Amino acid sequence: MHEYLAKAAKLTGVELPALEEASVTSERLLSGYKEELKKRFSTDCPDDIKQTDIVLCGSIAREECSFQSDCDYYVLQDGASPTTTRSLIKAMQGIEKDFPMGKTGGQNVFQGIVVAPNLYESIGLESDTNANMTRRILLLSESKPVTDWGTTHATVIGKILERYCQDYLSPNRNESDPAHVPRYLLNDLVRYWRTIAVDFGTKRWHNDDENLRLAKLRITRKILFAGPLATVLLTRREIKTNGRLKDYLTKSLAAPPLAQIAKHFESMCDNSKKAMSVLLRNYDQFIGILSGHKRDVLKCTSGDSKSREELKKQCKVMGDNIQSSLEQIFYKDPLLKDAFKEYAVF
C-alpha cells in the first residue's frame, strides 16, 4: 500500500484490509506481466522496441486491483514500426490468458495502439477526441508501464506536462517567478470528470442495470478526479517557483489518486482529519466489495433483486459519506478552500 495511505491510516487508527490486499494483488499481477513479457522478448527483441511501452491503467495502476478487475492496457508507441507494436499487442493477448482478469473497458480506449504525439499535440479542439483525452488524463493519473526496456511512458508524461505548463515556463514566463496553478491542466481534469459523468448518463440510457458503474462513478471515479485536483490546487503551497512546476506535477501525480489526498493529512484541520478517516474507511469497504462475490451482485449477474437493492443502498451510503468528506476537505478546510474557490469553477 502506498506510503501516504499507510501513514494516514496509522494516524487515524483506520484499518484498510481491502486496500492492503488489493495493493499486494496489484503488485503480483504487474510483476507477472513483466516477467512474461521478458520471456517472450528475451531472444527475439525488435530493434525499435525501446520506442514503445505497454501501459496499464485502471485499478492495477491505482494499486486497488483484484482478480475480477478490468484489464485496461494499451501499447504506447513513439516511433516504433507497426510490426513491433503488433507483436506487443499479440504478446499481451497471450499473457491475458495466463493472468485472467475482468473484461477490458469499452469505447475503443484500451487494448489498442496509442500514438504518443497525439496525447500531447492534440489537446483541445476537434482533434482531441474523448478517447484521446481519456488516455491522456489516465496516463497522468493512473498508469504504470509494464515494460522495462525503455522510457517511453515517462517521456510522454513529461511532454504532456510540458505542454500543460508552457504558459508558466521560459520564454513565456520567468521560471523564478512565483509558482502558478496550471489552469490548462486543471481545466482538462475538470473536462475529463464532466465527460465521464455525462458518458455515464448515456450508458444508463441504454442499460438500466448500472449499479456497478454508478457506484464506481460515485466512489472510485470521483477520487480519480479529486486526487489530481488536490495536487493541482496545492501547487502554490507545495512549490515556490514556476521552474519546479513540471517536476512537482510529475512526482505528485505518480501517486495513486487517493494517496494524493492522504499525502496532506497532517496539514488538514481537525474536522478534515475526521472526514479523511471516514473517506478512507468507506473507500476500503467499497474496494472490499469489488474484490469479492458482491461485485457480481452489483453487476446484476448474481443474487436476487432484494440483495441487489440492498447492496446498491450500501454503496450509495458509502458514496454519500465520501462526498461529505470531500466537501469538508475541499470546501471548508483552510488548506484547500481558497484555491478551490479561486480556480475550481470559474
Q: How far apart are the first and last CA of the chain?
A: 36
pLDDT at 141 > cutoff 60 = yes
In 10 A of CB 181, how many CB atoms? 17
pTM equals 0.92
Nearest to 71 by CA among 161, 155, 168, 144: 144
Q: How many CB atoms lie within 10 A of CB 337?
A: 16
- The percent of residues above 70 in pLDDT, for the chain, comes to 96
CATH value of 18-160 in 2.30.30, 3.40.720, 3.30.460, 3.40.50: 3.30.460
Phi, psi torsion values for 339, nearest 5 degrees? -65, -40
Q: Is the separation of the CB atoms in 59 and 102 below 8 Å?
A: no
pLDDT for 202 equals 83
- Buried b / exposed e over 38-54, threshold 16 CB at 10 Å, is eebbeeeebebbbbbbb
The Cβ-side half-sphere exposure at 52, using a 13 Å CA radius, reads 25
Domain with CATH 3.30.460 in the chain: 18-160
Question: Grid coordinates in use for 175?
Answer: 521560471
199-231 pLDDT, tens digit each: 888 887 777 667 899 999 999 999 999 999 999
